[in-house]
Structure formats: C-alpha cells, structure tokens
Chain A
C-alpha cells in the first residue's frame, strides 16, 4: 500500500508539534435571529465572540464546552461553512477570508471534517464506493477510473473496513462502520487538518474506543492535525495535546492537556472536570466535587461582565462589570478570569 503518497508533500511526523498550521485570530460569529415580519426587532446571538488560538502541525487541539458554547460554530468557521462576522482564520499562512472562490476550493481539500452523526452525514442513496469515488474525481485527485477504484479500496482498508464494503449502502453498516466511512471520506482529500466534530459521541462505548484508536493511528501515519471538538472531557484529555475550553461564545482557558487537567485556572474548567464521573466507585466516594448551580444562560442575553459570573463560585463584584480577556498567565497557558492567580491586574476591559 502506498501510504507515503497518501498525504502528498507532507513530511512524516517527526516532532509532536511543528509549525503553526492554523491560527484563529479574534474570531467573531454573530447570528441574527427573529426580525421577520411577525417578530419584533432582530436579536443577535454571539455564538463565537472574540476567540483566538493556534494549532501546530501534527498536534491535536481539543475544543470542549457545553451546548451553545460556540465550539461547533468555531469549527464551521474554520471549514468555511460559516462566514465569520469578523476576525481571521489563517491556514498555512493565508487568511481564508481573503481568498477567491477558486482558491477556497483548493484550500477546502486541505481542511476536512468528520461529523458527529454517521447516520445523517452519509448519503443513503449511493454506495460507500461511490461516496469515496466522487470527490476523488471531482477534485481531480485520481483522474483515472481504474486507479480510483484501487484508491477507494485502499482508503477502506486504511480505516479498517473490508474493500468489499465499497458495494454496500450506508444502511447496511453499523454506527462504528459508518463513522469509519466518514473518516475515509475525509482522508480521500489528503487533508492536512481535520475538524472532528464530536466524532464519537453518537457511538457505543466499545466502538468509541475503536474510533479514537483509529484516529490516533491515522494521525501518526499521515501527520494529520486535528481540531477535536467534543463535550466528553475524558475523551478530549486522552486524544489532545492541548485543550481549549469555551463557555458561551468565549474562550475560557487554553493550555496543554496535562496542565489543564492538573492545574486548571478557570473556575469553569474546574467545575467541568469535577462534573465528569470517574468509572471507579472508590475514587468517586472520596472525591471532593464542585457542583455548578444554575444553567448556561441564553446566548441571546449573555450576562454583563464575565459571562460565567452568575454560576461562578468565586465571582466578586468586579466580575459583573469587567469582561476578562483570555490572557497568558503562564507560558502557554491562557485563561479569562480576573480571579485566576497571576492574572495581570488592570488588564481586563472595563
């Protein structure tokens, strides 16, 4: 199998983190809701509100948070499935917002996606083979028909499926097998960055582990970079090199995975970690937990000041007025909390 050619022009993985492949700068995505002829004035949902981060080649950045925190929208902006309201998405040195449609088409190949639900993301009317064949033809990756069939078989093998699966339809496959097809489809484009949007949360526990292991193997083999969007902190911790935590459209904290789990600086990160049950009754019985009160506020009416302050166990008066910027507190560790030890005094926007 010609695995070396799979990602043409890419050096084999040498260091865990290379040059910066993606930089997201002050990304903002607002959605207008309401405002039809029946409704009142339109309202604005700040789905993503001033989010910045970088991903280095070959690494996995985990993006976690609860429903409505903006993690999926962030991923969709990077995939150019949404047009950001403002901010920059710089991929391999080029700002995607400034590209011509033809250039966008070329870049799209390099940024692929694996969706959460393998049931709704595969076309039920075409075979797995056709599904993998079509993009190879459309993008002219493998122009010759016979060679394409070989490539499809190869892709299926790479993701742990039998080549004979090419003649099957999605409904004949189990959830885990479908997710493998979704992965093969992403790999077909020989991408350098894959946005994995909750790729295992619809799967059974035993299948989740298979898919996670597959993603890890593929990353190593083809020097892939992952943006791994998920809500399961145990899974994110396992697969990520660095982790970003989002809350209500804002970046709460970002650092390497070990530090995030061992020494979280943001009270929301602490509460999230505390909420995850550990599969061990002895450990659970001994655990000191912070249970967050309340719920995530509506993104239509985010609280003033720090968006987390109504649920925050350590909020002070200032938190109601001051929007904390996500600032570097230690090298490689950014957090948006004025109460975090080491947060630069007076740095927050009043």
Chain B
C-alpha cells in the first residue's frame, strides 16, 4: 500500500521556502519561487510538473549545482538531516554529493564519462567518499552491479558506457548512485528516455532497492502514471510553485487544484473506455519572465474568479495531508464527474 504511517519527525530532507532565480536577457526568472516540501527516510516523493515548472531546478538547488552567476538561491533553507545545505562550503558540499545524496539523470549517456571504464566510474566514488582501497572499491563495484541486475559484473566493469544499452546505462547510473550508500537519491526523469518495458524494469528496480536498502527517493517526472505507480507522496509544481500536495492516493482520488485536475483529465488512460474527447488544459505554459499577477495558472484556468487575478493563493490544507493553492479549491468538481464540454 502506498500510505506511510511513519511518524513525521524522521525528516531526511526539509526544503523550506526555497527561492532560486536566474538572470536572463528577458529579466529575472523565478524558477523556484518559495517552495517547501520534505522527504522522510526511506520514502518515495514525487515532484510532478511540465517543462519549466521548476522541478529540476529544485533538485539542482539541493545538490548545490545551480550555475553561477546567472543562477542563485535567494532565500530559504535546505535542511538535510537537520543542517542547512545552503550554509555549507563548496568543499563540504562535495563530500555530500554522491555520498549522502546521489543523483540519477534522465539521459545516462551524457552523465557517464565516455572515456573511463564503467568500473572506474564506480570505484572512483568509493575511493574518494568511502576511503576504499582499489580492491575494496572493486568488490563494492561488483556488489552494486549485482544489486541493479547487471550480470557478468567482472567483464562488464571493464567495458565503456557506449557498450551498454540505454536501459543498462540507466542501471549503471543507479549502481553508481547506490555505491556510497546514500540516504537520498534524486532521480530526475530517470526513465523518460527509455522504452516502456525498460522503464517498467528500471522503476521496479528503484522501488525494490529503495525498500530493501531504505534509501529515500525524490522522483522528478512529468508522467502521472509513473507517479501513481511508484510515489508515496506527491508535490505538483506549476510556474515555480507547489500548487498541490498530498499522498498519491489523495491527489489522484480527488485533485483539489484545477491544474492537477486538468493534467489528469488530459491523459488518456489504458484502463478506461475510450473517451470521446480528451479535455486538454487550454493555452500555453507560462512565460516565467512575465507571470500574471495573482495565481499563475489563472489564464489557463476554467474555474478562476476575480480574486485569482489579485492575490496569490497560499498552499492550504484541504483534508488529511492534502494541500492546495487555489482560492476555489472547495468548489472544484470531483474527478469522477464527466469532463465538461471542451471548447472547440
């Protein structure tokens, strides 16, 4: 079952009111605009949203990988095991990256070093972070390849990334991420570049490893099906803000933000009889340099009222652990209802 009954105090990562900005030729982009969320030990949390909503920048902010000087974190705290990562020096961050918090990226080919053997890319991390001798590191490399289901480890370790298929490379990325036994893995669209049967394999693997090894996972994705299958808790982002949060079950059963509702209605489902028409969200994703006043989703929202143009709705509790940032959150239709007529 998806609900977790773990008590609240075991917060592993606690992001509070994070602001990350980029200076562009068109003005300041508030990619992450006052966002708070957390991850408890061992659980899987999802950040969901479309391109430019700030989900990847959130992960890069945690890792201290925002490219300066264009980008900077202008406010907030990132508490990892209780201490603020934003107060750490670059030197200290280097000890945390890969050791305490590891990352798995979307495109494994661009995140692996093409001129180093696969083995070296795993052992290097173990030697630097864990102080392993080359022999210990090699043994660890063999072990983690086994964990991620890559057979014939001794031979594979001598190969180069180009000799691996897409799915195998992503397994390799996970092996590297796991090699130093991190407490948290940030997975940014880990399966988007993969075929659907391989996607299922990789996600099942990540879920299984997270259960067995107690590693918490933050999964960043745009795929609502992936979230439904793998995440315990969900944060939906739009234009740099969290617009809805809750357990996966809460949010999918009864979305309380028009954006979440719109997303769920705009994807065809394999298990439902064919709908005559999808109900797409109208309009274009927002230009972050020219956000409208009030709620950023208002121009595309079918439920907007006058107030939405004036005041930014705060993220407030609806029921249970579910929160929504919408002035009309109590008036939204329930999801089971038939979608309204779609304007032509």
- Spell out A's residues near B (CB within 8 Å): 66-67, 174-177, 204-210, 212-213, 216-217, 231-235, 237-238, 257-258, 261, 271-285, 289, 291-293, 295-296
Residue B107 is within 8 A (CB to CB) of chain A in the complex: no
Note all chain B residues with C-beta closer than 8 A to A276. Answer: 196, 225, 270
Q: Spot the interface stretch: B98-106, B131-139, B275-283.
A: B275-283
Q: Spot the interface stretch: B24-32, B84-92, B180-188, B198-206.
A: B198-206
Q: Spot the interface stretch: B15-23, B259-267, B320-328.
A: B259-267
> Which residue of chain B lies nearest to A289 when distances are taken between CB atoms in the complex?
B200
Q: A176-B284, A177-B284 are in contact. List 13 more A-B contacts (CB 8 A).
A: A205-B50, A205-B224, A209-B278, A210-B280, A213-B277, A235-B268, A275-B197, A275-B200, A277-B226, A279-B267, A281-B229, A282-B252, A283-B271
- Given A234-B268, A238-B274: A205 and B263 interface contact (C-beta under 8 Å): yes
Contact status A279-B274, CB under 8 Å? no
Interface size class of B (residues with CB under 8 A): 35 or more
Nearest 6 CB-CB pairs, A to B?
A: A277-B225, A209-B280, A209-B266, A238-B268, A66-B195, A279-B224
Residue B227 is within 8 A (CB to CB) of chain A in the complex: yes
CB < 8 Å neighbour of B269 from A279, A281, A293, A295: A279
Contact status A209-B281, CB under 8 Å? yes
Q: Give the CA-CA distance A272 to B197 in the complex, in Å.
A: 6
What is the minimal beta-carbon distance from B221 to any residue of chain A, in angstroms? 10
Contact status B284-A174, CB under 8 Å? yes
Q: Give the CA-CA distance A235 to B196 in the complex, in Å.
A: 13
Contact status A282-B249, CB under 8 Å? yes
Note all chain B residues with C-beta closer than 8 A to A238. Answer: 268, 274-275, 278
Contact status B344-A217, CB under 8 Å? yes
Contact status A281-B228, CB under 8 Å? yes
Contact status B269-A234, CB under 8 Å? yes
Q: Give the CA-CA distance A280 to B263 in the complex, in Å.
A: 12
Note all chain B residues with C-beta closer than 8 A to A277. Answer: 200, 203, 223, 225-226, 228-230
What is the minimal beta-carbon distance from A209 to any residue of chain B, in angstroms? 3
- Given A238-B274, A261-B270, A295-B167: A279 and B284 interface contact (C-beta under 8 Å): no
Contact status B263-A206, CB under 8 Å? yes
Residue B248 is within 8 A (CB to CB) of chain A in the complex: yes
Note all chain B residues with C-beta closer than 8 A to A284. Answer: 228-229
What is the minimal beta-carbon distance from B187 to any residue of chain A, in angstroms? 15
What is the minimal beta-carbon distance from A301 to any residue of chain B, in angstroms? 13
Contact status A278-B270, CB under 8 Å? yes
For window 60-88 of B, CB contacts with A under 8 Å fall at none
What is the minimal beta-carbon distance from A262 to any residue of chain B, in angstroms? 10
CB < 8 Å neighbour of B274 from A208, A213, A217, A257: A257
Residue B116 is within 8 A (CB to CB) of chain A in the complex: no
CB < 8 Å neighbour of B201 from A67, A273, A291: A291
Contact status B198-A295, CB under 8 Å? yes
Contact status A213-B196, CB under 8 Å? no
Residue B168 is within 8 A (CB to CB) of chain A in the complex: yes
Note all chain B residues with C-beta closer than 8 A to A174. Answer: 284-285
Q: Give the CA-CA distance A272 to B50 in the complex, in Å.
A: 25
Q: Give the CA-CA distance A332 to B267 in the complex, in Å.
A: 28
Note all chain B residues with C-beta closer than 8 A to A213. Answer: 277-278, 280, 342
Q: Give the CA-CA distance A120 to B66 in the complex, in Å.
A: 28
Q: Give the CA-CA distance A283 to B227 in the complex, in Å.
A: 12
Note all chain B residues with C-beta closer than 8 A to A216. Answer: 277
Residue B1 is within 8 A (CB to CB) of chain A in the complex: yes
Residue B159 is within 8 A (CB to CB) of chain A in the complex: no
> Which residue of chain A lies nearest to B249 when distances are taken between CB atoms in the complex?
A281
Q: B49-67 vs A: 1/0 string, CB under 8 Å?
A: 0110000000000000000
What is the minimal beta-carbon distance from B274 to any residue of chain A, in angstroms? 6
Residue B222 is within 8 A (CB to CB) of chain A in the complex: yes
21 contacts between A and B (CB under 8 A): A67-B195, A177-B284, A206-B262, A209-B266, A209-B280, A210-B282, A212-B280, A233-B196, A234-B270, A238-B275, A271-B197, A274-B200, A275-B197, A277-B203, A278-B269, A278-B271, A281-B229, A285-B2, A292-B201, A293-B201, A295-B167
Q: Give the CA-CA distance A261 to B270 in the complex, in Å.
A: 8
Q: B310-343 vs A: 1/0 string, CB under 8 Å?
A: 0000000000000000000000000000000010
Contact status B252-A206, CB under 8 Å? no
Contact status B279-A209, CB under 8 Å? yes
Residue B253 is within 8 A (CB to CB) of chain A in the complex: yes
Note all chain B residues with C-beta closer than 8 A to A292. Answer: 197, 200-201
CB < 8 Å neighbour of A231 from B195, B253, B275, B281: B195
> Which residue of chain B lies nearest to A268 when distances are taken between CB atoms in the complex?
B197
Q: Give the CA-CA distance A102 to B226 in the complex, in Å.
A: 49
